[in-house]
Structure 1
Amino acid sequence: MLFNTALFWLFFAVFFVAFHFAARTRVAKLWLVVVGSLLFYGAWDLRCVPLLLGTALLDFWIALRLSRSQDERKRRVLLATSIVANLGVLGFFKYARFFADSAHGLLGALGVALPEPTFSLLLPAGISFYTFQSMSYTIDVYRRELPARERPEEFLAAVSFFPHLVAGPIIRASVLLPQFEQMQAPRWEQVRRGYLLIAVGLLKKTVADLLAGPADALFHGSGATSALEAWTGALAFTGQIYGDFSGYTDIAIGVALLLGFVLPPNFDLPYLATSPIDFWRRWHLSLSTWLRDYLYIPLGGNRGHRYRNLMLTMLLGGLWHGANWTFVLWGLYHGLLLVVAHQLVDRFPGLKQTPSAAVLWAKRLGTLYLVVLGWVLFRAESLPEALRVLQGMHMPTLASSFTWPAVLTLLFVVAGLVLCHAASALAEKTELRQRPILWPVVTACFAVAMVIGTQGHSFIYFQF
């Protein structure tokens, strides 16, 4: 059930009316959230629902035991059980085939002949997201930063809350549980804000789907690639993944606002970052802060082996995205960028000072260049494919490959990339109450996005 289809909005209209007008008590609203979210999730594949329920109920039970126990050894065993169970389920469904293929290739290189793995497993939508959300709850209870909930519907509602269930943001229980205790009706400013974000998100998703064509043409090709073709395709995917992912986030936050819940932002104009450090303060904030709080800091953070901790955190962050060596390399690449950036800042403190406008834009363009190179690794399905594209981007054939169709395609891609960023910036600064003339504009964006997006292209991050 995709956000950019009429089926979802029919589902949401029914849910909206039931939530605000039919469910009178807090408990009824909680169970409505649970049942509605499971129906939403089951629309993908009913076989995935028991897995979601099973992991959530296990963490609910473990958290209760953690809150009632004063035996630290027993509490550590309970926490380890939660972590092993969550990561075990995630690893089995998402990485079993990847590790089997990798082991088969390694043994083959050592001269050990074994049958090639042929099994395939169902990959539940959003498993990486809800696994991290559920696991962080038991960790917070173990740390005594969050009291365990006594009623299962509270925790189930927080984990399965359908706006963010399959593609984030990764919302911690500490953010949603207090809001489920209050259950306040949305204020009019929240309704206006939610409507604006939904329209902007749908618009960005539509632009992202249009950019998918040039990106797919590059990465699905097999022959030699000119510099212009390579840059056009790489920039197209740069715009596509931002418009697609941030568009989903905008819609999720907007839908939650219409129900009276506030979800934290997940993006902050990442392609205006002035360094790799700044980029990760703007991109996929819920994942980067999760990795910081539950992996980087427990490893020692900045106190000891800082660069090792950074590399390990980014390596696992890359692997979180998918079972492919290209994701591993993407994580290592960004880890290396962060290490170098921190070393430069430590050695040259003047880099922290506010630069002139020219230097500021030079830093932004330089950072964007590094990010685009990383997206090639992220999008490519194999290392040879990534090398083919990267080689094409740096071939001295840029001027000779200029043709009017190619130039127009590049201009279209750049315009789409700029439009996605501009839409985000305008949505951040716009208040519909102060500018009522924008209501028809926003409504038109919603209508156009729904008409153009009737094919219901899936969101990229659903596969994660």
Structure 2
Amino acid sequence: MLFNTPQFFWFFAIFFVLYNFVFTSHKKQLWLLLASSLVFYGAWNYAFIPLLVFSALSDYVIAGFVERNNHDPVTKKRWLMLSIFINLSVLGIFKYSNFVLQSTQDFIGLFGVDAHISTLSIILPVGISFYTFQSMSYTIDVYRGNMKAHRGFLTFLSALSFFPQLVAGPILRAQHILPQLDNLPIPTMANIRNGLMLIMLGLIKKTMADMMAGPASSAFDATTPISSLDAWVGALAFSAQIYGDFSGYTDIAIGIALLMGFHIPINFNLPYFSSSPVDFWRRWHISLSSWLRDYLYISVGGNRNGNRTRNVFITMLLGGLWHGAAWTFVIWGAWHGFIISVTHWLTYSAIGRWVDARNNWLVRIFKVLVTFYLVVIGWVFFRATGFDNAWTMLTQMHMSTGVEASASSLVVLGLVVTGLVFMHLIDWLNIRFGSALNERSWLMWPILVVGFSLFLVVGDPGHDFIYFQF
């Protein structure tokens, strides 16, 4: 059940009426929220529900044992390791089994052995990467003493299955969502106006992202050589597509939660305006980058003992693998680990100090453009169907292919760049003026009516969101 479909509109409309006007007690609202979340999740495949419940039950029980063994560090750590083992095993079986089998077969084939390893008929449960990380981090937080183990399984399961963010994030921390479920918030008119605005912006960005899919596919799926300009158009189009698609989904998720009175942290903050790769990861998929920092990077050593470069590289490699069971995602993660490490080195080098001393607007624009270029190179691996496809795209982007670009390619390039800038512009306007606009309901309601009307006319509902595959 996609956010951008009539089915979800009716699903949420019925839920909204029942939640706010029929089921008024805390317990009834909580049961309704849980039931609705499971129906929403089951719309993809009801067979996935037991796995979600199992993940929640495992960490709910284990976190309780972790807390009860605070006096015994050894036993306490064993319970934590059990949680990590269960969560990573579930993720590994459902997401990475066939990747490991195929990679093993390919490796054996390097030695001339014709191995035939059968792959498994496993369907990847929607959102498994998101709710597994969310569930596991709860137990880690209890282990670290950052929070108390929660006593209500109904509330904990409702947190893990919270339908606005269940299938593609943001990855919520237990400390953030559980207190809201313990004291269910009542949506204000300001919440509703702000929520509708975010939903409208998200739908607009999703519509624009879908328009970018065509130029991106034309370049990446080309069976014959294309011009350098067309290759760049394809890479830039995918950069725009993935931003509009994922940030659009996040806006809709945050907006839906606001209609219920819940507050979900932002997941994007104008990422293509970043001045360095480090800055990019402070602005892109913020819930994942902060999760990797707090639960992986720090756990493997962080900045201690001069091992920052190694630990950054490990973190980004695994972050790439989290996105998908393919070597292209591993390379994408390695690329970001490399450019982040180089950024750290440059920051403390003579070059970095020289640049910082001349940090005027021209230097800042230059840093933004260089960072964007590096990010686009990474997106080539992210989008490519394989290493050969990525290499072909990169060589066509940077070397003459002997193919002349058509005049229409310049038009498409202009449209892609315009779309990319426009999506960031509406985000900037919302950040800068959203609160002030919300206070002027006489102006905001007409904007919402026009925005949703445009989506109904121009939008093509039903296209999957890219991050659903993760």
Q: CA deviation at 1:112?
A: 3.3
2:454 maps to 448
1:204 maps to 205
Structure with the greater relative contact order (CA < 8 A, sep ≥ 6): 1 or 2?
Answer: 1
CA shift digits 1:218-267 (9 cap, x unpaired): 11112212101101000000000000000000000000011011000000
Aligned amino acid, residue 423 of structure 1? I
The alignment's TM-score, normalised by the length of structure 1, stands at 0.97
Q: CA deviation at 1:28?
A: 1.6
2:150 maps to 149
CA shift digits 1:171-193 (9 cap, x unpaired): 01110011112212112221111
CA distance in structure 2 between the partners assigned to 1:272 and 1:334 by the alignment: 17
2:25 maps to 25
Look up the SS of the partner of 1:280 in the other structure: helix
Look up the SS of the partner of 1:148 in the other structure: coil
Equivalent in 412, 422, 425 of residue 409 of structure 1: 412
1:169 maps to 170
1:391 maps to 395
2:295 maps to 294
- Check the 8 A contact 2:102/2:119 in 1, yes or no: no
1:312 aligns with 2:314: yes
Q: CA deviation at 1:160?
A: 0.5
Question: Bigger shift: 201-210 or 67-76?
Answer: 67-76
1:101 aligns with 2:102: yes
- Check the 8 A contact 1:225/1:389 in 2, yes or no: no
CA distance in structure 2 between the partners assigned to 1:128 and 1:349 by the alignment: 40
Q: Which aligned pairs between 1:79-158 and structure 2 lie closer than 5 A?
A: 79-158=80-159
1:357 maps to 361
1:422 aligns with 2:425: yes
Look up the SS of the partner of 1:360 in the other structure: helix
CA shift digits 1:55-77 (9 cap, x unpaired): 11111111122222232222111
CA distance in structure 2 between the partners assigned to 1:355 and 1:38 by the alignment: 51
Q: CA deviation at 1:346?
A: 1.3
2:381 maps to 377
Question: Bigger shift: 19-28 or 196-205?
Answer: 19-28
CA distance in structure 2 between the partners assigned to 1:181 and 1:4 by the alignment: 30
Q: Which aligned pairs between 1:250-329 and structure 2 lie closer than 5 A?
A: 250-304=251-305, 305-329=307-331
1:60 maps to 60
- Check the 8 A contact 1:63/1:138 in 2, yes or no: yes
- Check the 8 A contact 2:230/2:405 in 1, yes or no: no
Aligned amino acid, residue 170 of structure 2? P
Question: Bigger shift: 185-194 or 226-235?
Answer: 185-194
CA shift digits 1:68-96 (9 cap, x unpaired): 22322221111111111001000111000
CA distance in structure 2 between the partners assigned to 1:52 and 1:373 by the alignment: 35
Relative to 1, partners in 2 of residues 1:294 and 1:353: Cα closer, same or farther, differing over 3 Å? farther
CA shift digits 1:388-430 (9 cap, x unpaired): 10011012369x7342211111111111111111121122222
Aligned amino acid, residue 34 of structure 2? V
Considering only aligned residues, what root-mean-square deviation do their CA atoms show, in Å? 1.5
**Count of residue pairs the alignment pairs up:** 463
Q: CA deviation at 1:353?
A: 5.4
Relative to 1, partners in 2 of residues 1:395 and 1:438: Cα closer, same or farther, differing over 3 Å? farther
Q: CA deviation at 1:166?
A: 0.3
Aligned amino acid, residue 374 of structure 1? G
Aligned amino acid, residue 111 of structure 1? G
Q: CA deviation at 1:451?
A: 4.1
Aligned amino acid, residue 434 of structure 1? R
Aligned amino acid, residue 311 of structure 1? F
CA shift digits 1:30-52 (9 cap, x unpaired): 22111110000000111111111
Q: CA deviation at 1:110?
A: 2.1
Q: CA deviation at 1:19?
A: 1.2
CA distance in structure 2 between the partners assigned to 1:413 and 1:211 by the alignment: 7
- Check the 8 A contact 1:226/1:395 in 2, yes or no: no
Aligned amino acid, residue 332 of structure 1? A
Aligned amino acid, residue 459 of structure 2? G
CA distance in structure 1 between the partners assigned to 2:59 and 2:391 by the alignment: 42
Question: Bigger shift: 181-190 or 212-221?
Answer: 181-190
Look up the SS of the partner of 2:51 in the other structure: helix
Q: CA deviation at 1:351?
A: 4.2
Aligned amino acid, residue 408 of structure 1? V
Aligned amino acid, residue 468 of structure 2? F
- Check the 8 A contact 2:101/2:119 in 1, yes or no: no
CA distance in structure 2 between the partners assigned to 1:91 and 1:452 by the alignment: 40
CA distance in structure 2 between the partners assigned to 1:443 and 1:388 by the alignment: 45
The alignment's TM-score, normalised by the length of structure 2, stands at 0.96
- Check the 8 A contact 1:218/1:230 in 2, yes or no: yes
Aligned amino acid, residue 427 of structure 1? N
Q: CA deviation at 1:435?
A: 6.7
